[in-house]
Structure 1
């Protein structure tokens, strides 16, 4: 049976001159490496001179599932990035309550805004665990400003709809009840509610079409009891 090795902290005055020189050299090398890394990352930061005038959006790739980690690292380093997320309702397990989870919309991709030159790209790839940059013709692809604006507006609209849906009252239990359609091609039809689509604020009703009963989803505002 092996004996447990005992470790003891060595005081600095116990080191030989050669050991001190080697330790100082390692510390100096580590400090120099940190300085070189910081100087490289600085090229990709948003406080770089001329950033607001020259910066463009590029697409960085990372491992799927590491998008949030990578974007947090970039933000902490002072690099502007965008990782839109969608909120999903996780199914409850056993007696636990359902919880909201936030999943990146673009799996494996992060949008980053930098000045488009090789110095920024090198600093960007050094700042976080990224796989690379999406390229076109061997060069990092620069996202068209109009497309980026549409993507961001769409993300804001999706967030707004989610927030609005949280403030709406829950749908009443209408399953099996007879209701009347207010307007549209089936106005004044008396129909039976078969299912509720709570997230869409819709009800599924049965309507006679071509001699058969068909299920049709309707906005809840289009019916009344």
Structure 2
């Protein structure tokens, strides 16, 4: 299931137009996002179910898996005044639309559109860092801001281990990977 399949009925209409359709959040049962997506598309709804590829260690092996970018959630593009949106709540794999009072709450304009642009044709959003072990990095924030070090390790959860020159020696410091920039 890819982005083109997920938004197959009208790929030209991704930008918000005069048709009144907006993106809304569907709360799906966790782990059943693909099922909910398929059933919504079978009903004629435009959907977007972003996924990410993760490499995890399992039984002393590295295993690459795809999973929902937002576990338990996906997006549907509807016009609440014209479309039969109440049927979404009864779709297999769906808990409900995110609602306020009696109406679905639209996503902020441009949010889902930016996610769609960031995804590849298969709906995969690449979250893997461009940082590599052994690379020189600069710390952007925190108590070690502006220090330069060598990236020792970056795990799948985004934690980094950096070797910094501190107090006449090289010290290993653990921090969030997004606090680093490549040099």
**TM-score normalised by structure 1 residue count:** 0.50
Contact 2:163 2:170 in 1 (8 A): no
Q: Relative contact order, CA 8 A, sep 6+: which one is greater?
A: 2
Which structure: greater strand fraction? Answer: 2
Q: Is 1:215 the counterpart of 2:172 in the alignment? A: yes
1:87 maps to: 53
Q: Distance in 1 between matches of 2:78 and 2:37?
A: 14
CA RMSD of aligned residues (A): 4.4
Q: How does 1:121-200 map to 2 (within 5 A)?
A: 121-153=85-117, 159-160=125-126, 162=128, 195-197=152-154
Residue 40 of structure 2 is aligned to residue 65 of structure 1: no
Per-residue displacement from partner, 1:67-122 (whole Å, max 9, x unpaired)? 1111122223332111111211132325xx42211121222222101121375213
| CA deviations over 1:121-176 (Å, ceiling 9, x no partner) | 133334433221111233111122223334444556x83564x85xx9x75xx6xx
TM-score, normalised by the number of residues in structure 2: 0.59
Aligned to 2:44: 78
Instruction: Provide the C-alpha distance between the structure 2 equivalents of 1:55 and 1:182, rounded to a whole number of angstroms.
Output: 44
Deviations 1:15-68 (A, max 9, x none): xxxxxxxxxxxxxxxxxxxxxxxxxxxxxx958xxx971211111112111111
Cα distance change on mapping 1:215 and 1:151 into 2, 3 Å = same
Q: Which has the higher helix share?
A: 1
- Which structure 1 segments of 5+ residues have no match? 1-44, 175-180
Aligned to 1:55: 21
Partners of 1:46 and 1:114 within 8 A in 2:
no
Q: What are structure 2's unaligned runs of at least 5 residues?
A: 1-7, 11-16, 140-145
Identify the match of residue 100 of structure 1 among 42, 50, 64: 64
Aligned-pair CA distance for 1:216: 5.1
Bigger shift: residues 116-125 or 76-85: 116-125
Separation (CA, whole Å) in 2 of partners of 1:183 and 1:124: 47
CA distance in 2, matches of 1:198, 1:134: 33
